[in-house]
């Protein structure tokens, strides 16, 4: 046992010597462990649990004599750092960047809150931007604001004027005057059609004359349809490519039950302008904001005023229904869908299928909708709506119709448009408006 006592005495002597050395020169060993590579040396001068925000490290921890110059400057440059201290006096700093978001997604309560708030925001945006198209009463989602749509139309119109500088017919040119007068009639008819009440002017004819005129009008309509059916296949049912007026009937009935009001605020205060360009292009269009452009190539094929009124009424119908803004909104969603499908399917196949199944059918549907609105506008302006089917059939021959145009083009074939307008209920409504217009009574709020 003597050797054990001697060893214990030597060990106690060595421990006493070491304790005296530690008392004279404090060692950083007493510093609590810090869970960060940048802040590896802290002292026990600040031992409080919980989460704190420190405006200055040096103000909280005093003189950091155990750090070198680079580490001290690094700590002094940090103004706020959030951390907490556990029971083992270990400093845990809150993660930043990607790791912080990853912790959020691990918490089911945060995920549930994000889903609820995101869904509520999406529903609010969707229903807050739903609008009702005049006449057809179709609801559509338009994310583009009215002011932005107007600015886009004005910007494109200025670009058109710069691009066709030197080819724009002067204001006193006979063709410019003619197109401007027809457009004026269409715009005035639009203003009447967007009134909120049915207002009738004083009748200028007796009822007996009206009855005779109505009977003659019905006989003329029957003769017109009979003549058109001779050039149309008997098997046509009006549903090729989904083009028929069944959806119009459904949407109008639904709007009547629920009391939907058409959106017309985008047509208020427009500065309508007409531009005739000397180009052999068989085309015309109406930009958002009331900017109408007509090419002389169209005027060479359609010489009568009712024919030009048919085309202008159709183009103004696009502006009435906000088709440009609607197409931009749908293109945004289609692009997002395509980006997702690109991860699984060949990009060329995705683009082809989205165009064939989504973009083109919707574009053809908008063209039919513009035909309906334009037919009512030209009838209210005093132009015979029975001319419209012949115009579209002639337009199809000029531009080159094909059997696949009802499926592979943005516009339906001219023959399909002529057949649909002749058989749709909108023709009867247009003839009723036309009859009252030429009899001296103007119908309002027909859209």
Q: Which residues pair with 285 in a beta bridge?
A: 293
Please determine, for residue 202, whether its predicted confidence score (pLDDT) is greater than 60: no
| Pair (167, 55) in one structural domain | no
pLDDT, residue 179, reads: 95
Please determine, for residue 321, whether its predicted confidence score (pLDDT) is greater than 90: yes
pLDDT, residue 226, reads: 55
Q: What is the pLDDT of residues 335-366, one digit of tens each?
A: 888 888 888 888 888 888 888 888 888 888 99
List Cα–Cα distances, 243 to 222, 240, 361, in angstroms.
23, 6, 9
Share of the chain above pLDDT 90, in %: 37
3-state SS assignment for residue 185: helix
Question: Cα(216)–Cα(208) distance, rounded to whole angstroms?
Answer: 13
pLDDT, residue 208, reads: 38
| Pair (59, 106) in one structural domain | no
Please determine, for residue 238, whether its predicted confidence score (pLDDT) is greater than 70: no
Q: Which helix (H) or strand (E) holds 22?
A: helix 2-24
Please determine, for residue 51, whether its predicted confidence score (pLDDT) is greater than 50: no
3-state SS assignment for residue 261: coil
pLDDT, residue 9, reads: 73
The answer to whether position 10 is within a domain reads no
List Cα–Cα distances, 67 to 23, 74, 429, 430, in angstroms.
20, 10, 90, 90
Per-residue confidence band for 175, with pLDDT thresholds at 50, 70 and 90: very high
| Pair (84, 149) in one structural domain | no
| Pair (105, 84) in one structural domain | no
* DSSP symbols for 109-176: HHHHHHHHHHHHHHHHHHHHTEEE-TTT--EEE--S-HHHHHHHHHHHHHHHHHHTTTTBPPTTSHHH
Task: Please report where in the chains the tokens 């070198």 appear, as a residue.
Answer: 68
| Pair (214, 248) in one structural domain | yes
Q: What is the pLDDT of residues 430-442, one digit of tens each?
A: 999 999 998 887 7
Q: What is the pLDDT of residues 82-117, one digit of tens each?
A: 566 777 777 666 655 555 556 666 778 888 888 999
285, exposed or middle or buried, with CB in 10 Å at 0-12, 13-18, 19+? Answer: middle
pLDDT, residue 89, reads: 75
Share of the chain above pLDDT 70, in %: 67
Please determine, for residue 56, whether its predicted confidence score (pLDDT) is greater than 80: no
Question: Cα(279)–Cα(297) distance, rounded to whole angstroms?
Answer: 6
3-state SS assignment for residue 277: strand
pLDDT, residue 384, reads: 94
* Domain span holding position 35: 24-93
- Options 315, 326, 429, 436, the catalytic residue: 315
The answer to whether position 268 is within a domain reads yes
Q: Which helix (H) or strand (E) holds 414?
A: helix 414-423
Q: What is the pLDDT of residues 404-430, one digit of tens each?
A: 677 778 888 888 889 888 887 889 999
Question: Cα(322)–Cα(263) distance, rounded to whole angstroms?
Answer: 10
Please determine, for residue 159, whether its predicted confidence score (pLDDT) is greater than 50: yes
Question: Cα(320)–Cα(313) distance, rounded to whole angstroms?
Answer: 10
The answer to whether position 281 is within a domain reads yes
Q: What is the pLDDT of residues 377-386, one digit of tens each?
A: 999 999 999 9
Per-residue confidence band for 29, with pLDDT thresholds at 50, 70 and 90: very low
Contact present, 191 and 268 (Cβ < 8 Å) = no
Per-residue confidence band for 319, with pLDDT thresholds at 50, 70 and 90: very high
Question: Cα(253)–Cα(314) distance, rounded to whole angstroms?
Answer: 24
The answer to whether position 14 is within a domain reads no
| Pair (264, 300) in one structural domain | yes
Q: Higher model confidence: residue 2 or residue 323?
A: 323
Q: Is 315 a catalytic residue?
A: yes
Please determine, for residue 23, whether its predicted confidence score (pLDDT) is greater than 70: no
Burial 70-97 (b: 16+ CB within 10 A, else e): eebeebeeeeebebebeeeeebeeeeee
The answer to whether position 1 is within a domain reads no
Question: Cα(272)–Cα(269) distance, rounded to whole angstroms?
Answer: 9
Q: Using CA of residue 358, residue 360, residue 364, residue 367, what is the dihedral sign?
A: positive
| Pair (157, 104) in one structural domain | no
* Average pLDDT, rounded, for the chain: 76
List Cα–Cα distances, 291 to 135, 154, 184, 187, 441, in angstroms.
22, 7, 12, 12, 29
pLDDT, residue 90, reads: 75
- Looking at 267-281, 355-369, 378-392, which range is the least confident one? 355-369
pLDDT, residue 346, reads: 84
| Pair (211, 298) in one structural domain | yes
pLDDT, residue 211, reads: 44
Last residue of a domain, one of 93, 120, 149: 93
| Pair (119, 169) in one structural domain | no
The number of residues making up the chain comes to 447
pLDDT, residue 207, reads: 35
The answer to whether position 443 is within a domain reads no
The answer to whether position 377 is within a domain reads yes
Contacts of 264 (CB under 8 A, 6+ apart): 134, 194
Instruction: Provide φ and ψ at 294, rounded to 5°.
Output: -130, 135
| Pair (181, 309) in one structural domain | yes
Structure tokens at 175: 């063709």
Total domain count, the chain: 3
pLDDT, residue 17, reads: 65
* Residue 243 DSSP class: -
The answer to whether position 446 is within a domain reads no
Please determine, for residue 26, whether its predicted confidence score (pLDDT) is greater than 60: no
pLDDT, residue 180, reads: 95
pTM (two decimals): 0.68
| Pair (206, 245) in one structural domain | yes
Q: Using CA of residue 181, residue 187, residue 190, residue 194, what is the dihedral sign?
A: negative
| Pair (314, 393) in one structural domain | yes
pLDDT, residue 99, reads: 53
pLDDT, residue 337, reads: 86
Q: Are strands 139-141 and 91-93 parallel, antiparallel or unpaired?
A: unpaired
Please determine, for residue 314, whether its predicted confidence score (pLDDT) is greater than 90: yes
Could you tell me which of 113, 149, 114 has the C-alpha nearest to residue 131? 149
pLDDT, residue 92, reads: 67
């Amino acid at each position: 046992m003597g050797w054990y006592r001697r060893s214990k005495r030597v060990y106690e002597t060595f421990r006493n010597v070491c304790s005296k050395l530690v008392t004279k020169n404090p060692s950083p060993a007493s510093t609590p462990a810090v869970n960060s590579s940048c802040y590896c040396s802290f002292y026990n001068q600040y031992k409080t649990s919980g989460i704190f925000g420190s405006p200055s490290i040096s103000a909280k921890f005093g003189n950091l004599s155990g750090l070198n110059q680079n580490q001290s400057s690094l700590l002094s440059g940090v103004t706020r750092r959030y951390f907490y201290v556990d029971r083992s006096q270990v400093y845990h700093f809150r993660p930043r960047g990607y790791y912080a978001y990853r912790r959020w997604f691990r918490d089911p309560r945060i995920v549930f809150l994000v889903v609820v708030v995101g869904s509520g925001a999406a529903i609010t945006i969707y229903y807050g931007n739903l609008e009702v198209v005049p006449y057809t009463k179709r609801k559509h989602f338009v994310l583009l604001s009215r002011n932005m749509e107007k600015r886009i139309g004005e910007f494109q119109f200025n670009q058109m004027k710069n691009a066709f500088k030197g080819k724009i017919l002067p204001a006193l040119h006979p063709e410019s005057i003619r197109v401007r007068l027809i457009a004026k009639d269409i715009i005035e008819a639009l203003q009447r059609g967007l009134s909120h009440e049915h207002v009738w002017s004083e009748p200028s004819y007796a009822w007996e004359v009206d009855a005779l005129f109505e009977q003659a009008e019905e006989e003329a309509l029957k003769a017109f349809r009979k003549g058109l059916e001779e050039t149309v296949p008997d098997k046509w049912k009006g549903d090729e490519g989904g083009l028929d007026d069944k959806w119009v009937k459904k949407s109008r009935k639904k709007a009547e039950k629920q009391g939907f009001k058409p959106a017309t605020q985008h047509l208020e205060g427009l500065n309508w302008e007409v531009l005739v360009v000397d180009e052999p292009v068989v085309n015309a269009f109406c930009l958002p904001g009331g900017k109408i452009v007509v090419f002389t190539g169209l005027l060479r094929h359609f010489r009568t005023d009712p024919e030009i009124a048919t085309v202008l009424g159709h183009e103004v119908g696009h502006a009435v229904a906000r088709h440009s803004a609607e197409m931009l909104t749908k293109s945004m969603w289609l692009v997002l869908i395509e980006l997702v499908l690109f991860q699984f399917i060949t990009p060329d196949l995705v683009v082809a299928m989205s165009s064939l199944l989504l973009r083109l059918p919707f574009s053809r549907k908008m063209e039919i909708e513009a035909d309906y609105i334009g037919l009512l506008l030209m009838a209210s302006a005093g132009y015979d709506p029975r001319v419209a089917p012949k115009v579209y059939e002639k337009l199809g021959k000029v531009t080159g119709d094909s059997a696949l145009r009802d499926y592979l083009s943005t516009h339906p074939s001219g023959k399909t448009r002529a057949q649909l307008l002749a058989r749709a209920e909108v023709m009867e409504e247009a003839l009723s408006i036309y009859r009252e217009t030429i009899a001296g009574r103007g119908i309002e709020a027909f859209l």
